[in-house]
Amino acid sequence: MEKNKTILIITILIISILVIYTILDNNRIKIVEQEVRIDNLPDELKGFTILQVTDLHEKEFGQNQVRLIEKINSISFDVIVFTGDMLVNSESTNYKPFFTLLEGIDNKDEALFVPGNSDPDIYSLNKDTLYKETDLISGMEKRGVKLLESLHTIRKGSTKVHFIDFEFSIQDKDSAIKSIEDTLETENSSTKYLNHQKQLFDEFSSLDHKFDSDVLIGLTHFPIVDERLDYLISNSNFIIRDYDLVIAGHYHGGQIRLPFLGAIFIPEGWYPRKGLLPPQDRVKGLWGYKDIKQYVSTGLGSSEALPLLKFRLFNTPEINLLTLRDAK
């Protein structure tokens, strides 16, 4: 009897410590730094820095995001990228955690955003044959962040860094436009949206004259797993460009992580078991496949992918500072 009581007390103590640790850890923020080696990187781009913020999921780090804002403002960077999932789901209208964060960031000279699966659609099309940006996008842009739909170029001396929306960049223009035309005809919408999409594809024409010294970086919410990249390369309906780096989020590094085992689950339909017990070298951080380097952040918040487990375990929230270095 006494032994059972002792075991119970020890169990309660361990659980209490774990709960307290998890609560504290979910409200910390760490800065993860990563050097990315690129062949023949021009001198002007050596040391070029990219700050990645992803998967906020409406998480608040102190009143008015004070702790997260202080972390970001303590870092020097050339561009800041937001790689999606700022909201908890696509139906949410709780923009305050994201907008408050944007209002507090000092350096937004170059700030880009690509949406994730829990963010609302970029545009709303209505029966009056008009289209407009949804509230998340318009509010974000009012606060100094650009929606990256196709291409954004940053000049550094005589060289350029091109940021492109990866999912948009792999599409074949003719096939994509035909699909949009069919959809608009069905929904009786105007050609204004179609013309906008054509303009986005035309912006890619500048890449036809891209110099070897230029750097091409794809932004996406969803990591590109090896199997999907193989599929894209083998399918003539897609275009795989000469990306120097792809930056993504989505996985949360495996929201629930266990010591010695790592990530238990990531939301990835390309893997067997739909992401249960994934390959640990494809969960977070930097990896390369088919000459394409990819960096995946664990992000800041928690998703609802695992019911009743909307928290991070042994998985401290992070923002990521990527620095370009020459491969030599």
The residue ranges of every structural domain in the chain are 2-326
133 vs 230, higher pLDDT: 230
Which residues are within 8 A (CB) of 120 and not within 5 positions of it... i.e. 6 or more apart?
Answer: 87, 90, 91, 92, 134, 135, 136
Percentage with pLDDT > 90 across the chain: 75
Question: Tens digits of per-residue pLDDT, 135-165?
Answer: 999 999 999 999 999 999 999 999 999 999 9
Q: What is the mean pLDDT of residues 62-67?
A: 97
Q: What is d(CA 115, CA 307) in angstroms, rounded to the nearest whole number?
A: 23
pLDDT tens string 283-295: 999 999 999 999 9
- What is the rounded CA–CA span in Å between residue 298 and residue 312? 10
* CATH 3.60.21.10 is right for the domain spanning 2-326: yes
pTM: 0.94
Average pLDDT, the chain: 92
Res 129: pLDDT: 47
pLDDT for residue 131? 66
For 66-121, what is each residue's pLDDT tens digit? Answer: 999 999 999 999 999 999 999 999 999 999 999 999 999 999 999 999 999 999 98
pLDDT for 15 beyond 50: yes
Query: Strands 215-219, 159-165: parallel, antiparallel or unpaired by DSSP?
Result: parallel
Strand locations in 146-297, DSSP E?
Answer: 146-147, 151-156, 159-165, 215-219, 245-248, 257-258, 262-263, 285-289, 292-296
pLDDT interval class at 189 (50, 70, 90)? low
Return the bridge partners of 152, or none. Answer: 163
Q: What integer pLDDT is reported at residue 306 of this predicted model?
A: 66
**Token digits of residue 176:** 């994509």
Helix (H, G, I), strand (E, B) or coil at 319: strand
